[in-house]
Structure 1
Amino acid sequence: MAALGAAAQAAPITASGITWNPDYADGGEVDFISQFDFTQWYSRTSSVGGAIAANSYSSALVFNDVYTDQQNGGTFGTYYLQGAGEIYRINGDTGFAAAGRELTYVFGGIVLQADGSLDYSQAWGKLFAGYTTPVNYTHPASSDAEVLDAQTGELFLDLRFNSASFVDGDIGNGTVSASLRIVGGTAAEYFDPRALTYTGDANFNPSGRYSGGGNGSSLGNTENVVPEPASLALMGLGLMGLAFIRRR
């Protein structure tokens, strides 16, 4: 039984065709480390509610227009920050996805405030275990179709923001650190606690509409889902009974 329990705890975990080894040697006390690239943009099209609108990417605003409006105040409008990306490594492994699968990442619901801060009270993030056909998301995002593809597949993790803040820079060139809670997804049951910490960097060209060089990482702790202790005890009794039967 001791050997059975040890094997269960050390086994790789798979959800929706995505596999990771929680005993990653370089993870230290953390057993889920994902790294990703992303593209983000500002739009007047709302991304509150858990999805990026179909025309959000193509209606992205020139960053300098957004920044100038924010600096001048007065006519300041509502600007939403959203983005799409792809996870390229989990626990040091780039081959974590099953053949024909990809793990994409989208976020939205972030509202730019007149003082230059970002309101995360309605922010969300989602990871999708999708397929590379008929559309294969590639970084950086380049069309509404790719952004839609990044939101297609099995919902791997559904995330909400507990907190987020700039640890360096500002809305045009900065690093954000965030605490996320996991509220659903096929992989949610493997996380204990159901939380991730997030760090992301992105830079806007003043005359550009997209920040295509964003990158970051998310960290969490996972465990194999194993039977309750009572179930394990019954399993042990069953194995003992089998041994007694064989001895007769």
Structure 2
Amino acid sequence: MKNVKNTLSALALMSMGALNTVSADTVSAGGIEWDTTDNNGNAGMSAQVSYQQWFTTGAYGYDALNDVFVINEDSNNGVTPGQGVLTGLGVFTVFSNGRSNTIPSFCADGFFSCELTFEFGGLVPQPNGTFDFSSGWLNVYFDNTVSLTNNVVTNPTDIFGAGADEDSYERFSSTQNGDLWASFDFDFFDFIPDDPADPFRAGFASAGLNVVGGIPEVVEAINFGDDLFDFFFTSETQINNQNYSQTATASITSVSSPATIGLMGLALFAVGGLSRKRK
């Protein structure tokens, strides 16, 4: 059963760098190549993403072929942070060992031959500053073109990276026009606001993700958490006065049982320290 108690703190997740993450073998699945990491004897993976997020009251679309929700015109309109549901879209920028879509490339066919994008939604804010993640979803798409820019010279990661603008959310069609690479649901979603008086404007989020669908060879390759969730997702973002984040970044790291046991110990230690400081 992939489930752990909601006790992982931001401090513990940030401590993941203390784990042994030596590069190991190369895995290829669904058009993407990545170098595995050795997490205390267990092969895993890590990645970085850039994205834009917002709150929306619009209804999601539905992809009946893949049985997943998608972003459409009704769900890409930003509203006051804390209303509606948290939604976002973005692009993978780096896999472990420095692989990007350039050189060294995470595209199996080489330099600028693909995009790996993602969208998420269904995270409902609660009055106490937390989120109901029971209907949360995250989809990853593989595209063997650079449709985000339609320009092989411009790096598609710039759409959500340092070159992002307030209109990146309008690229929802380009982020989901490829093949569904993998789909995930949320095992947990923690949020620590920067300002408790305005909790949903900015903060640090951490989540556990379970792979639930996608290309069969991809699902097999990234189904890391046999007894736990498959990935840690940690992010930090800020939503501007136009109700969209201009850019945000996140880290995604696979979970292996020994590594997770160590992280749980760090989490409990960190939570205890935070509790003492608040007294």
TM-score, normalised by the number of residues in structure 2: 0.63
Identity level (%)? 24
Q: Once the two structures are superposed, what CA deviation does each residue of 1:14-38 show, in whole Å capped at 9, x if it has no partner?
A: 122110111x47x666631110111
Match of 2:178 in 1: 153
* Structure 2 CA distance for aligned equivalents of residues 144 and 204 of structure 1: 13
* Structure 2 CA distance for aligned equivalents of residues 200 and 134 of structure 1: 25
Q: Once the two structures are superposed, what CA deviation does each residue of 1:94-130 show, in whole Å capped at 9, x if it has no partner?
A: 1212342111011001112233322111001111111
Match of 1:52 in 2: 71
Aligned pairs, how many?
A: 196
Q: Which moved more, 1:81-90 or 1:151-160?
A: 151-160
What's the offset of the Cα at 1:159? Answer: 0.4
Q: Are residue 184 (structure 1) and residue 213 (structure 2) matched?
A: yes
AA aligned opposite 2:221? Y
- Rg larger in 1 or in 2? 1
What's the offset of the Cα at 1:167? Answer: 3.9
2:231 to 193, 196, 201: 196
Aligned ranges for residues 53-202 of structure 1 at < 5 Å?
A: 53-57=72-76, 59-61=77-79, 63=80, 66=81, 79-91=84-96, 92-94=98-100, 95-97=105-107, 98=109, 99-136=112-149, 138-139=159-160, 140=164, 142=167, 146-169=171-194, 170-186=199-215, 187-191=218-222, 192-193=224-225, 195-202=230-237
Q: Once the two structures are superposed, what CA deviation does each residue of 1:38-70 show, in whole Å capped at 9, x if it has no partner?
A: 10011110348621123422x222x3xx45xxx
Distance 1:155 1:116, change over 3 A: same
* Structure 2 CA distance for aligned equivalents of residues 118 and 46 of structure 1: 18
Which stretches in structure 2 are left out of the alignment for 5+ residues? 1-23, 62-67, 150-155, 257-279
AA aligned opposite 2:213? G
* Structure 1 CA distance for aligned equivalents of residues 73 and 145 of structure 2: 20
Match of 2:273 in 1: none
SS at match of 1:212: coil
SS at match of 2:174: helix
Q: Once the two structures are superposed, what CA deviation does each residue of 1:126-174 show, in whole Å capped at 9, x if it has no partner?
A: 1111143444352237256511211121222210001111145331110
Which stretches in structure 1 are left out of the alignment for 5+ residues? 1-9, 68-77, 223-248
SS at match of 1:21: strand
Contact 2:88 2:169 in 1 (8 A): no
Contact 1:46 1:80 in 2 (8 A): no
SS at match of 1:146: helix
Contact 1:82 1:107 in 2 (8 A): yes
CA-atom RMSD in angstroms: 2.5
* Structure 2 CA distance for aligned equivalents of residues 37 and 30 of structure 1: 24
What's the offset of the Cα at 1:210? Answer: 0.6
1:17 to 31, 46, 55: 31
